[in-house]
Every structure is written in C-alpha cells, then in structure tokens.
Amino acid sequence: MTQYAEGITAEIVKEHGINDAEYAVILDRLGRAPNLVELGIFSVMWSEHCSYKSSRAHLGKLPTSGAKVIQGPGENAGVIDIGDGQACIFKMESHNHPSFIEPYQGAATGVGGILRDVFTMGARPVALMNALRFGAPDHKKTRQLVSGVVAGIGGYGNCVGVPTVGGETNFHAGYNGNILVNAMAVGLAEADNIFYARGAEPGQPIVYVGSKTGRDGIHGATMASAEFDDQSEEKRPTVQVGDPFVEKKLIEACLELMATDAIAAIQDMGAAGLTSSSVEMADKGGIGIALDMDKVPQREANMTTYEMMLSESQERMLVIMKPGREDVAYEIFRKWELDVAVIGETTDTGRMVLTHKGETVCDIPVAPLADDAPKYERPYFAPEVRAQLNAKDVAQPDHMGEVLLRIMSSSDMASKAWIWKQYDRHVMADTTASSEDPSDAAIVRVHGTKKALAITTDCTPRYCFANPFEGGKQAVAEAWRNLTATGADPIAITDCLNFGNPEREEIMGQFVGCIEGMAQACATLDFPVVSGNVSLYNETNGVAIPPTPAIGGVGLIPDMAKRAHFGGMREGDILLVVGETEGALGASVYLKVIEGREDGGAPLVDLDVEKANGDFVRGQIRAGRLSACHDLSDGGLACAAADMALASDMGIKLAHEGNVPMHGYLFGEDQGRYLLAAAKEDAIAILQDAKADDIPVHVVGLAGGKAVTVNGAHPLELDRLRAAWEGWMPGLMEQLVEAAE
C-alpha cells in the first residue's frame, strides 16, 4: 500500500494535525491512502475540539444523570425536566481562540454557535450568559479586546433578540495572551417535542438550510486545537463572520419546521461545519450518507469539496427529513428568505460518499471517524497543592473602610456596568433579574407561568491554580450557592473547561484535578453535568492560562413569589451569617489587592456543610423571613455587606469579636456561607431554626446609617464607595488613548 495518495506529502499530513500513529489508523481503516478531502475530514473529526481526544478519558468521571435529567452530554445540549411537561435546554461553549484573533466576530459567532446548539434541539432560546477572562487591565491589548468582545456579544445577542442576562468578568495577567470567551445559552421546550441528532434512517433526504457556504472558518476546529505563537494573528482568515439577522430568521424558521413533524434528525453546522454535522447524524443513526456537493448553496465561485466540507460559515443547519416532506421545509425557509436545498440522502452503506462535478471525491466509512477517534491517556502529575495561609501571618491594616474601598474598586470586584449596559437584558419581557439587579443569579420567567429559571456562571481560577481539586469543587459549589441564594432549587450544570496544553504533564494534572473536584461536588450536591465543552491549548509561547473550569448552573424557582435578592435590606434589620468563618485569606482577593500576593492555599469546601447550609437558607427564603440574602464569595463578608448596602442604599454596622483577626474575619473567603438580613422577629425565628437544625448562624451586624462600619469605627461612606465601585471600569475603558501606548 502506498503511504501517500497523489499530491499528499508527510508535510501536508502534519499540517492537518495528524500524527504518525493516527495516520497509520487511517491507512488501516481505509485500506488505502486518503486523498486531500478525506484527510481534511479525518483531520477535523479527530481534532481535539471535535474528538475530545485528550479529555474523554477523564470526562467520564463526571456525574451526568439524575431524576431531572432528560438528556445528558452527547447531544447538542443538555436537557432537564422543569415540570408541567416543560424542559430547559442549555449549554456553554468556548470561543477563545477566535476572540483573541478577531474579538468582535470571535465573540459574536461564539454567541451564534451556542444559540444554535440550543434551538437545534427544539428550544426557543430565552437567555444568554457569558464568562469572560481578560488579561491584566494595564496590558496593552486588554482594552481593545474588552471593547471588541463586549460589542460582539451585544451585537449578536441584541439583534437576535435573546436577552443577555448575566455573567462574570475577570482580569488577570495569566490571560494576557489567551483571553477566554465562554458563552452560555438557555432555552425552553416542550418535553415531548425535543429534537436529536440521532434518529435518521436510510433513504431519507438531507436538507441544507440557512446561509450559503463560503470560505470562512476553514480549519477553525484545528486552530482551536493548537497553541498560539507570535504569528497567531495571521490566522485571522480562519475566524468566521456572523450574521445575527440570518440567525434570527433561522430560529423562527426552525421552530416553525419543528412544529410540523417532518424532521427525522437535525444538527447545526458548528465546528467543522458540514463534515461534523453529517458525520454525527450518520454515526448516531448507524447509517451512511451520500452528498452531492454541486447542490450545496455556495457563496463563492469555484469552491472545492475540501473547502465546502471544512468551511465554518455561520447560520447553517442540516436536517434529515422524513421522506416526502421536503416541501414543508421549502415553504417555510423560502418564507423566511433563507437558502434551502436537498443536498443528498441517507444510505445503508455506513459510508460517507461525496460526489462533485460527476466524480466521487470522498468514499470513507463513517464509523472510524467517530469510533476510532484517538483517545489519549495523557501522562500527568498532580500539581503541588499550596499550603494554607494563616491570617495571623498577614499584616493587619489600620483602616478597614479604606481597605474595603480599594477592594471594591479593584478589577475583580468593581461594577461591570460598562459591559452589561451594552447588552439588551430585557427583550422577551421575561427577565426579572439581570446583571443590573442585586441577585446572585439571573432570573428569567418561564413564559406565562409563575415559575422562573435561575442561571449563573462561576469559577474562581485563583483557587483552581492554587489547588485544582478544591478549585474544581469550589466552582461547582459556588454555582449551587448562587442559585440557592435566590431561592431556586439547583438542578444541573454545563461546563466549559479551559486549560493549557494537555501534552504538558503539569497542565494535564490541573485538568484531572479540577475534573475530580467537580465530580465530587456534583455528586454530593446532586447537581449533574448535562452538557459542556473542553478548550485546551490555551497558551501562548509556552505560558498557559490559569486553569479555568467555568460552570454554568441552572435552577428552578417554583413560585416567583418566594425568592430572594440582596437589595431589600431595611433599617434595623439584623444581619446574620450562615456558616463558619475562620479567616481564609489564601488565594483571596484581599491578598491580591492589598498585599499584591497571590500565594496561599485555596479555601476548602466541605460539601456536606455546603449542602446543609444551602438547604437551610433556601428554607428560610421560602418561609418569607428574609429581606435580603447574598452568598459570600470573593472578598468575603465585608464585600458581601458592601454589595448589600449599595443595593439597598443603606449602611451596615458590622461587629467583630472572637479569635479570628479582623481582616480575616472581614475579607476571608471561607466557603459555604451566606449573609442574610431580616427583621428582628424573623432573625430570632431563624436563629431558633438554626439551633434546631444544627446549622451555624451568627449575628454579625445591624442595618442603618449611610456607611459601612466595623465595631463603630473604620467608616466607609456609601457615596464614596459607590463612586469608586462604579468608576473603575469607565476609568479603564475611557482613559485617553495615548495612555495605552
């Protein structure tokens, strides 16, 4: 057997990211050498992005089932049961590499892609979230990247008419060369009308709908599976360009088609476009496919099969229809002025056969593309876990109010209004709490009911870097806590696992540690993973990002009348902290902002305590006893109190006593805690319940005045706090251009 087909060289194989061992498997399965089209198809299907070859061995450790899980990982998105015959469909995905190279289009198409994953399954998208990590605020590229990414997310989501209701944004030098843009979409569907990639049978027409295919995005999946270097910006031509207007029409047209019972299987064309969508449907149906490339709607002249199969042009879907129902699709898609074409049919051969201009240009078995995709047990070593830090070994500041001011106006804690004001948060008229509201999670009503979804995105990369296992646990626990703090029942998560180069043992160790921590938290909190995405090779010139397993959590508020937020504190309310405070300053915001240090161990999460405390708080919310409720996370008690004071426009008098040093007490990031505000009689009832249930609840202060104080001293006036908190980001983004170099 010849090693290479005509025109193919060892160099070309290497450029496709296929190593010698992988190439040998291709030769074996085909019984001959692949041509360029076939090589391209293997290349994208076996890319890290599509095959999860480095991560699959560990992803199986995550719990993925539960009483409310209708569909776990493996389809376009996860599906959970929210009662009354309704389902919630959601997923989070990364668009990191494209967003660094071309921030507006990279972020915009990230939003477009994740929306398609959700409406492909029959859901109307009802909310968008995001998790963004940028480099240091003073890095020369940061402002340009922030501007472009935010405009791109807004430009797409606003136009398509799905509210962007929340998210999180961090700045850290560890992302200088690799920003993270993780977008999450949430949709609602009828539980008995969900569409899958599986279900196709031989002899069914394959219908292409949406935009025409162009040359954009060719090999995007391969790009997302390699490290960056100084020449990475030359990869701009591989970034796709989005058109949210087409996406909006595609949503309406697909939902209209889905109401007709004409679809056998459906798949969006995301990474690796026509290749992965057709292969996935064929593989899941155990069938073959035959496509006539001349029938593919094309945007440019003289496109080759290679280009069409690898294009990542946006806003396209592939539908396998029930025979004889093609007219239904034609009618609907023409009404919406979208392209529609029958481009082939399913077969019983188990092979993918492509013809172009009368010639067979590809004839390969489907099964190896999916089943024989490489799976690597990458070697790893567990990173050294940093030792815990004792607050007593950290210098005590003189004036806690001034320290609080600096922390609240730091990049981690300052208001991100500059970002979220650019997102339409209210379209669809079901948003009850979004980024602007004092809520630990976004709240979106289930249209026409008294139910609401609570949605959050969370991760603390500082902790994951200090201790991957505890950091992974904490990311899941914080998502659960944020949902709980609104009164929701947490149901399930999606994840977006962003790491460096898995071929480095230390990075693989971070990945494995985070997964194992997440798995433990998911199991204990009954909070399974139903969908997700892995983004590896987030490193530039050998420097990896901090490990960032972003978690998107979804919960259900059964009755909108029984929920909580942190803006309702009233004069004279008693402030209570649920959970124990030991003053965990390791890897804290305090240490970073005040001491300029990022050392120390991550706070430990006791999952049983987390669950007990959270269940207690949810019970108190539903009993109607709280005027405000806020989870404690970055910046500890003092920052949660500051948030509550700003949102309620009322001061807080904190009291400190006991053995924990004052800065550890105020700013320690001990886990599993909540800050509650309640009228005196309610506070007494809460304390009684806590005693009966053996839950640690402590009185920590009193609402009143116009400042945050500690033991009657250390005052920070709310007006001053508000100005600094609101002022940081405009100050960063709107400074004179010459200052940026």
Partner 1 sequence: MKSAVIVFPGSNCDRDAHDAIEKVTGHKPAMVWHQDSDLPEGTEFVMVPGGFSYGDYLRCGSMASRSAIMPAIVAHAATGAPVLGVCNGFQILTESGLLPGALMRNAGLKFVCEKAPLTVENANTQFTSRYEAGAQLLVPIAHHDGNYFADPDTLDRIEGEGQVVFRYGRNPNGSARDIAGITNEQGNVMGMMPHPERAVDMGHGGTDGLALFESLLGSA
Residues binding partner 1: number (CB under 8 A) = 32
Q: Which helix (H) or strand (E) is 73 found in, with range?
A: none
Query: Rule CB under 8 A: which of 331-350 touch partner 1?
Result: 336-337
Query: Residue 130 or 531: which CB sits closer to partner 1?
Result: 130
Which member of 256, 402, 437, 717 binds partner 1 (CB under 8 A)? Answer: 437
Distance CA 397, CA 402 (A): 9
Question: Binding string, 215-244, against partner 1, x = CB under 8 A?
Answer: ----------------------------xx
Distance CA 405, CA 246 (A): 46
Write the burial class of residue 61 (CB in 10 Å: 0-12 exposed, 13-18 middle, 19+ buried). Answer: middle
Stretch that binds partner 1, among 394-402, 423-431, 493-501, 686-694 (CB under 8 A): 423-431
Which member of 5, 27, 159, 370 binds partner 1 (CB under 8 A)? Answer: 159
Residue 158 beta carbon to partner 1: minimum distance, rounded to whole angstroms: 6
Residue 241 beta carbon to partner 1: minimum distance, rounded to whole angstroms: 13
Query: Residue 78 or 152: which CB sits closer to partner 1?
Result: 152
Query: Residue 228 or 420: which CB sits closer to partner 1?
Result: 420
Distance CA 494, CA 377 (A): 24
Tokens of 111: 């939003």
Distance CA 461, CA 587 (A): 10
Distance CA 487, CA 729 (A): 30
Distance CA 717, CA 80 (A): 45
Which member of 132, 160, 645, 647 binds partner 1 (CB under 8 A)? Answer: 160
Instruction: Please calculate the CA angle 467-486-656 and round it to the nearest 5 degrees.
Output: 65
Stretch that binds partner 1, among 44-52, 154-162, 308-316, 632-640 (CB under 8 A): 154-162
Tell me if residue 49 is catalytic.
yes
**Strand order across the beta sheet in which 652-654 lies:** 628-631, 674-678, 574-578, 697-703, 652-654, 707-710, 713-717
Number of neighbouring beta carbons within 10 Å of residue 92: 28
Which member of 392, 399, 426, 680 binds partner 1 (CB under 8 A)? Answer: 426
Distance CA 614, CA 631 (A): 10
Partners of 577 in the beta sheet?
675, 698
In 3D, which of 202, 185, 196, 53 has the Cα closest to residue 125? 185
Please identify which of the residues 49, 58, 356, 714 carries the catalytic annotation: 49
Number of neighbouring beta carbons within 10 Å of residue 1: 8
Q: Which helix (H) or strand (E) is 638 found in, with range?
A: helix 636-648
Stretch that binds partner 1, among 147-155, 210-218, 382-390, 686-694 (CB under 8 A): 147-155
Residue 430 beta carbon to partner 1: minimum distance, rounded to whole angstroms: 7
Residue 456 beta carbon to partner 1: minimum distance, rounded to whole angstroms: 19
Distance CA 38, CA 29 (A): 12
Distance CA 634, CA 670 (A): 10
256 contacts: CB under 8 Å, gap ≥ 6: 332
Which member of 422, 504, 543, 582 binds partner 1 (CB under 8 A)? Answer: 422
Per DSSP, the three-state class of 69 is strand
Question: Binding string, 560-579, against partner 1, x = CB under 8 A?
Answer: x-------------------
Residue 425 beta carbon to partner 1: minimum distance, rounded to whole angstroms: 6
Residue 440 binds partner 1, judged by CB under 8 A:
no
Greatest CA separation found in the chain?
Answer: 86
Q: Which residue has the tokens 């979106």?
A: 444
User: 273-285 and 36-45 are packed helices; what angle lies between their axes, rounded to 10 degrees?
Assistant: 70
Distance CA 262, CA 169 (A): 42
Which member of 104, 208, 333, 423 binds partner 1 (CB under 8 A)? Answer: 423
Tell me if residue 139 is catalytic.
no
Query: Residue 322 or 451: which CB sits closer to partner 1?
Result: 451
Residue 582 sits at φ, ψ, to 5 deg, of: -110, -5
Query: Rule CB under 8 A: which of 55-94 touch partner 1?
Result: none
Query: Residue 382 or 428: which CB sits closer to partner 1?
Result: 428
What is the per-residue DSSP string for 92-132?
EEE-HHHHHHSHHHHHHHHHHHHHHHHHTTTPEEEEEEEEE
Query: Residue 196 or 336: which CB sits closer to partner 1?
Result: 336
Residue 169 beta carbon to partner 1: minimum distance, rounded to whole angstroms: 16
Query: Residue 118 or 702: which CB sits closer to partner 1?
Result: 118
Residue 249 beta carbon to partner 1: minimum distance, rounded to whole angstroms: 5
Q: Which helix (H) or strand (E) is 502 found in, with range?
A: none
Distance CA 188, CA 87 (A): 6
Which member of 53, 91, 445, 714 binds partner 1 (CB under 8 A)? Answer: 445
Stretch that binds partner 1, among 158-166, 356-364, 406-414, 534-542 (CB under 8 A): 158-166
Which member of 424, 470, 478, 573 binds partner 1 (CB under 8 A)? Answer: 424
Distance CA 96, CA 433 (A): 27
Residue 162 beta carbon to partner 1: minimum distance, rounded to whole angstroms: 8
Instruction: Please calculate the CA angle 408-409-411 and round it to the nearest 5 degrees.
Output: 100
Residue 315 beta carbon to partner 1: minimum distance, rounded to whole angstroms: 11
Please identify which of the residues 16, 58, 95, 356 carries the catalytic annotation: 95
Distance CA 521, CA 480 (A): 10
Query: Rule CB under 8 A: which of 292-321 touch partner 1?
Result: none
Residue 300 beta carbon to partner 1: minimum distance, rounded to whole angstroms: 20
Query: Rule CB under 8 A: which of 244-273 touch partner 1?
Result: 244-246, 248-249
Q: Which residue has the tokens 């962003």?
A: 498
Residue 185 beta carbon to partner 1: minimum distance, rounded to whole angstroms: 15
User: What's the chain's length in residues?
Assistant: 741
Stretch that binds partner 1, among 373-381, 420-428, 487-495, 610-618 (CB under 8 A): 420-428
Residue 619 sits at φ, ψ, to 5 deg, of: -65, -40
Query: Residue 248 or 663: which CB sits closer to partner 1?
Result: 248
Stretch that binds partner 1, among 36-44, 156-164, 499-507, 519-527 (CB under 8 A): 156-164
* DSSP symbol at 298: B
Reading phi first (left if > 0) and then psi (alpha if -120 to 50, else beta), residue 357 is in left
Question: Binding string, 161-200, against partner 1, x = CB under 8 A?
Answer: x---------------------------------------
Residue 664 binds partner 1, judged by CB under 8 A:
no
Residue 432 binds partner 1, judged by CB under 8 A:
yes
Task: List active site positions.
Answer: 49, 95
Give contact residues for partner 1 (rule: CB under 8 A).
151, 154-155, 158-161, 243-246, 248-249, 336-337, 420-432, 436-437, 445, 560
